[in-house]
Structure 1
């Protein structure tokens, strides 16, 4: 047994123990030999600890790739089970958040939570001693620890720079809550900004003004629900969408199933298209209020509606009309 193990009365299973030499470059271990209990230990360049792969150079690239693969497998398994059990969208999303949750907000919240608990820990604790050293080096500019820099960046982004400067806060629950809320608010602001800057979302941004679960996603008819979702998110083959992939100007993306010489956008599909089948389904399904004297405002109201009857009729209309565009 080595001196360290003897001192701390540690019992190590030599068969399950490996050695990694950390450094910026991969070390030449051919001349190194590590022995435990009289048995030579295998030297490796990375190892798994508590489910996370540690690499010799301190990089977590391999760990991230592995966690990404695990998350994908978990997600596909979850979605497969949800489809078989015919679970509603809200239940599926809730399960996703609990089982997968690949959200930067959650990760940053946990970083701050750990940092906060670290500040409250005893000065004699090894992790606290290491943090104090890293913080001192960061403050002096001698060394910028990526983790310490990340903590500071998160607090700065949340308008909590004074907490970093003072290294003090009210209580851990308050800190985690305020950081989470500010990060969510920033995420929604970026989401709205990105939508506004995308010309393809010019109609979507009009009726999708809140970051929330839409009621139409709870509609029991899957085909109608899918049709509404595709229509709202430009996942269709109407001329407005396909013309973009062809490099056509918006004014040149004419409807290809009627001779009205109008741009085949959402408004045209719902209210203007003169195709016989479209006119039939429009009369059969769409509420008269929206069809009579149509306008851009009525388009927004129709696609924003939370009325179950309107959702059902809009879904039935789109389910039958969208396949006409090929």
Structure 2
């Protein structure tokens, strides 16, 4: 009555936020003479609040919209025929990320498969990899922070915002109450406490201090890179990839804007999913030692090293595309691993062109 605001009771709902093991309250709430319905969830400003404090419905709703937006981006890129890494990332960050990260400062602590699948699909489209490609390899080549960590940065931004509010603001009072209950209850402040601890920034949480977002981004990047290195060392699928990839960063072959077919072949080769016998033999249950190259008489396993360094079927292509480095590559002091590192890190353009032409040669030989 103080502000003479008319409230639409048909759109006003009541939610009892509680743990799933606790029963719903029996209290009835009225607005004037009208009783307000108690519901399981309510959509407010695009975020769906659920009575058990879960945001799966929000993530699923956003993912549906984001898929349509990403489909629109893909259709535009197909018209362009050829596009670069920066072009793709600019379109993706402008058209898709604002949807997938909407309201993430509230619900972004947990990962959601429906949203992660969109980012994985985007990486596959950019690199030209298929669905069996290791996500670890694709993220290492793109050098991008996972979407879950990106959303957690927004939580730090909200943390700074809450600390700057006046004490008489209702939002600030709720924050202070959550902060006091964080040790005993699972709430937003408890999630923030875990994030501060992961990034070795506990003092900021304990003393309720604002933090420079650039510091958060730097710490988050370090955390992601370290986690990536640990997972890479424990991945037998990427044993060859780990030989020449030792730094979490965007690879040069993406920045160089290679043609799509060359970028795709090189990405598949790097991630170990190019259809060589070391890979295709797994599909029929062959032992590793039986997956020998059928294109030459070396009787060696047809893996990535043999394909790019040794197989005699591609000797002329190897001589043509790597002529500047031939003497170095044939040096007796260089081991196969050293040769592979040299080619991947120093000659990505030439590697892409060699792989594109070499990959077609066995087919031509078989069919002719």
| Secondary structure, aligned partner of 1:289 | helix
Q: Which has the higher contact order (CA 8 A, sep 6+)?
A: 2
Query: Contact between 1:195 and 1:201, CA under 8 Å: does it hold in 2?
Result: yes
Q: Which residue of 1 aligns with 2:84?
A: 88
Query: Contact between 2:319 and 2:326, CA under 8 Å: does it hold in 1?
Result: no
Q: Which residue of 1 aligns with 2:118?
A: none
TM-score for both structures, normalised by structure 1:
0.81
Q: Which residue of 1 aligns with 2:269?
A: 231
188-197 vs 61-70, greater mean Cα deviation: 61-70
Aligned counterpart in structure 2 of residue 110 of structure 1, from 154, 157, 164: 154
Over 3 Å counting, the alpha-carbon distance change for 1:325 and 1:237 in structure 2 is: farther
Counterpart CA distance in 2 for 1:99 and 1:201 is 32
Counterpart CA distance in 2 for 1:136 and 1:322 is 67
Query: Contact between 2:265 and 2:352, CA under 8 Å: does it hold in 1?
Result: no
1:151 aligns with 2:192: yes
Q: How does 1:1-326 map to 2 (within 5 A)?
A: 6-14=1-9, 17-24=11-18, 44-85=39-80, 86-101=82-97, 103-138=147-182, 141=183, 143-169=184-210, 172=211, 174=212, 176-217=213-254, 218-275=256-313, 278-287=314-323, 289-290=325-326, 293=330, 295-296=335-336, 297-306=338-347, 308=349, 310-311=350-351, 313-321=353-361
| Secondary structure, aligned partner of 1:48 | strand
266-275 vs 278-287, greater mean Cα deviation: 278-287
- Please state how far the C-alpha of 1:49 moved relative to its aligned partner: 1.1
| Secondary structure, aligned partner of 1:7 | coil
Question: What's the RMSD between the two structures over aligned residues?
Answer: 3.1
- Please state how far the C-alpha of 1:269 moved relative to its aligned partner: 0.9
Deviations 1:47-100, CA, capped at 9 Å, x for gaps = 221111122332212112222333333223223322322331222023323333
- Please state how far the C-alpha of 1:267 moved relative to its aligned partner: 1.6
Query: Contact between 1:237 and 1:322, CA under 8 Å: does it hold in 2?
Result: no
Structure showing greater Rg: 1
Could you tell me which runs of 5 or more consecutive residues in structure 1 were left unpaired when the two chains were aligned.
1-5
Over 3 Å counting, the alpha-carbon distance change for 1:208 and 1:94 in structure 2 is: farther
Over 3 Å counting, the alpha-carbon distance change for 1:322 and 1:76 in structure 2 is: farther
Over 3 Å counting, the alpha-carbon distance change for 1:166 and 1:44 in structure 2 is: closer
Q: Would you say how many aligned residue pairs link Structure 1 and Structure 2?
A: 308
Could you tell me which runs of 5 or more consecutive residues in structure 2 were left unpaired when the two chains were aligned.
101-146
- Please state how far the C-alpha of 1:314 moved relative to its aligned partner: 2.6
